[in-house]
Structure 1
Amino acid sequence: MKHSAGIKVIAEGIESQEELQTLIKLGAELGQGYFLGIPQGFFTGIPPEKINIIKQLQKER
């Protein structure tokens, strides 16, 4: 990932917990995809149950 160049990486197309886990291990800071939620309006956030999964996977990293 481009962290050394100061570039933030957005992981797109996350469709499973396994994909999310891999991307977190690789250091992705931002992401989107159907696993996190269907396309929403700009101010709609990630559902709380998905945030809990993200936090747990980050701890395991």
Structure 2
Amino acid sequence: MTQEELRQLYNERLVREKQVYIAKVTNINQNYLSQFRKGKIELFPRYFASLKAYLTGENS
């Protein structure tokens, strides 16, 4: 999965879940997620893995 594919999946999930909740369960700063959502940054590998695991239902 690429950063762009994960960004798209994340944006789709934000329709039904709050960013603050996703930030809490993935242990990723909400501001960092916001910048990722807007395409301003790419996620560090550990954050990428954490967000991917949450969004796809994989255990991390």
TM-score tier (shorter): 0.3 to 0.5
* Larger RCO, structure (CA 8 Å, separation 6 or more): 2
Q: TM-score normalised to the size of structure 2?
A: 0.33
Question: Which of the pair is proportionally richer in helix?
Answer: 2
Rg (Cα) greater in structure: 1
Q: TM-score, normalised by structure 1?
A: 0.33
| Larger strand fraction of residues | 1
